[in-house]
Amino acid sequence: MTAVTPARPSTAVQPAPVGALPPGRPAGGSRLWTAAGFAFGAALLFAVAPLVLSDFRLALLAKYLCVAMVAVGIGIAWGRGGMLTLGQGVFFGLGGYAMAMHLKLADAGPGGMPDFMQLYGQLDELPLWWRPFASPWFALPATVLLPMAVAFGLGSLVFRRRVRGAYFAILSQALAAAMVILLIGQQGTTGGTNGLTDIEGFFGYDLDDPVNQRMVYFIIAATLLALLALTRQLIHSRYGELLVAVRDGEERVRFLGYDPASVKLVAYVVAAGMAGLAGALFVPAVGIISPALIGIVPSIEFVIGVAVGGRATLLGPVLGAVAVAWARTALSERFPGTWTYLQGLLFVVVVAFLPGGLASLWALARRPEAGAPPPRRGWSPLGGRRAERTEVPAP
């Protein structure tokens, strides 16, 4: 008799159930958790922080939240798109200078000139390129559209030539250095090294009034929550999935008929717009914008905050940016001579022991038991949803 070989367990691809959500799309329970998270964050920012913190500490928190806005954009470009942007200070500065120019002209009054132009005595009348910023209808959109336009022009040239990796990072960093040199060299029109300082009003409100300072803080907090909501919708959309596909396999996406340059360009432009908006809100919160706040060092600090928090998550960049900024302030107050070394040690420890950043602590706490690997999901740009694969171990 012929021996019968026992059948092996099937490892065929099991089709996804009808009506199943694509990978990365939030289910109903996830939406509830997200809504609860936003409500909790809003309660902390709008209720707890103003009650617990002094006016000085609340102003510092407003500054940290502006940095967190830049980090959200870096999380999209670097965490989801794989583009290490070391020049976000340029877009932060463009938005900040656009807002500061309008506020300085508003402080000077109709037909007046900013005080630093009169102090240096190099100009007899307001420069032509300053005059449109006297109108809030021009200045406010410029804080976002101007950085996005610069990012679009640069990204179109760079991504079409398939510049990526370390070359793109170095190029973006060189842009930040060039921006600083340009601002310092035009002392009569940009304030030079000092920048634009002594900003007293914000659309008719006196920034020296603590009540108005709290108003600025609430505007910044609300803007940050709105950017987080927008970012969440973006990363869970079809475009967000395509952006991750470009990051993980750019050539494969190109062979499927998509243009990776256009996909990366959108992420880069969105990140620039967020940085410009953050710079615009930074000006009334701090009262100054200068080349020292937008150069190479601040640009690298933006990236460090994202790396510490976790670049591939939604809240990781925010947590990392706020944590690094708070650590810098706290350590400089207690250890004025060695705080830079302690800050560097904090970065090294987080990167060495938590490669996923601070946001990975939650994932580690919810890690499944050993020996029971979760099912792997895949995604294809053509169909949007691929079959769920479940590995059945051999007997």
> What is the pTM (predicted TM-score) of this model?
0.84
Q: Identify the residue with better confidence: 84 or 375.
A: 84
pLDDT in tens, 138-160: 999 999 999 999 999 999 999 98
In a domain, 335, yes or no: no
Q: Which of 163-167, 169-173, 274-278 has the highest mean pLDDT?
A: 274-278
In a domain, 185, yes or no: yes
Domain, as residue range, for 137: 50-294
Domain count for the chain = 1
142-146, 293-297, 298-302, 331-335: which range is least confident on average?
331-335
Q: What is the mean pLDDT of residues 110-132?
A: 81
In a domain, 358, yes or no: no
Work out the burial of residue 164: count CB atoms within 10 Å of its CB; fewer than 13 is exposed, 13-18 middle, 19 or more buried: middle
In a domain, 96, yes or no: yes
In a domain, 344, yes or no: no
In a domain, 128, yes or no: yes
The residues that bridge with 201 in the sheet, in sequence order, are 206
Q: Is 42 in contact with 50 (CB distance < 8 Å)?
A: no
- The pLDDT of residue 391 is 38
Q: Is 388 in contact with 16 (CB distance < 8 Å)?
A: yes
pLDDT in tens, 247-273: 998 889 899 889 999 999 999 999 999
In a domain, 327, yes or no: no
**Who contacts 288 (Cβ-Cβ below 8 Å, separation ≥6)?**
100, 195, 196, 197, 198, 199
Q: Is 88 in contact with 154 (CB distance < 8 Å)?
A: no
pLDDT-derived band at 358, boundaries 50, 70, 90? confident
In a domain, 1, yes or no: no
CA-closest candidate to residue 68, choices 294, 313, 318, 274: 318
